Amino acid sequence: MIRYYGDPPYRAAVIHGGPGAPGSAAGLAAMAGAVCGTSEPIQSGKTIRELVLELKEQLEEAGTVPVILAGHSWGAFLAALFAGAYPEMVEKLVLVGCPPLTAGYVPMIGERRRRNLGAGEREEFDRLNLWLEQGMPEEADRLLARLGELAELGDSWDPLPDTMENDFPVDAEQYKAVWGEAVKLRASGQLLRSFAALDCQVTLIQREQDPHPVCGVCGPLAGSGKEYRVHVLKCCGHSPWLERRARAEFFEILKQELGR
């Protein structure tokens, strides 16, 4: 399934995070659609390879390639992996809230999130993580949805209400399978090597107050020799289109990156 924003041609495509959180970047897609025609692929694959092939079919269906891929959170990883597999289909990458590219920075995310939560929320956050690790298939989607709510709360700085309706349920099966692969790619160094090998332009939009540390992306990329551009937003959490103090600046950057 694909949702569309603005008028064709659909020069940009927004890749949602998660994995297993379809529709979570609808606000970003709507903002991009105010700049140029934008597609929002809703993905269902259960492996990274399936997601890459599914995205290829979706972009071909949307009808405009090469395309600017704007990936949020996990979607930044997928956008980069797709660009490596099908470079002829990607004009450039705009990566919003890209997670760390090497494993050494990962513990910082949980620590920062927990500091932003109240005592009861921290306890629930830890309990949900444990339950999902142990596996509760009959309740996994509900637990993951609640964990996502708490993670979003911990990731935010001065959030605006999300007015975009999202009728898509979270997919715990997709999350467990795909994120398990992503963790191995990152730990092995293959994820960073994939980023370093990209031929297209890469622009990062990171945030100072996001629990996902800026240094976790910029440090490894700089060390790899890959050239990139970076915008660092102040007073901004993980989803800048929902941040009161950074939304306007983020939109100006988006116009710059998506415009001709």
Nearest to 59 by CA among 71, 47, 72, 46: 71
Look at phi and psi of residue 43 and say left if phi exceeds 0, alpha if psi is from -120 to 50, else beta: beta
Can you give the pTM of this predicted structure?
0.92
Cα→Cα distances 260→69, 248, 257, Å:
15, 20, 8
pLDDT tens string, the chain, 260 residues long: the values are: 999 999 999 999 999 998 989 999 999 999 999 999 999 999 999 999 999 999 999 999 998 899 999 999 999 999 999 999 999 999 999 999 999 999 999 988 888 888 888 999 999 998 888 887 776 667 888 888 898 889 888 888 898 887 777 788 888 889 889 999 999 999 999 999 999 999 999 999 998 888 888 999 999 999 888 889 999 999 898 899 999 999 999 999 999 999 86
Q: Tell me if residue 154 falls in helix, strand or coil.
A: helix
Q: Which CATH class is domain 2-108+159-258?
A: alpha beta
CB count within 10 Å of CB 111 equals: 9
In the chain, which residue ranges form alpha helices assigned H by DSSP?
26-33, 48-62, 74-85, 106-115, 119-134, 140-155, 172-188, 190-196, 215-224, 247-258
pLDDT tens digits, 49-103: 999 999 999 999 998 899 999 999 999 999 999 999 999 999 999 999 999 999 9
> Quick check: 10 and 230 in contact, CB under 8 A?
no
Question: What Cα–Cα distance (Å) separates residue 9 from each residue in 1, 23, 38, 59, 135?
Answer: 18, 21, 8, 12, 43
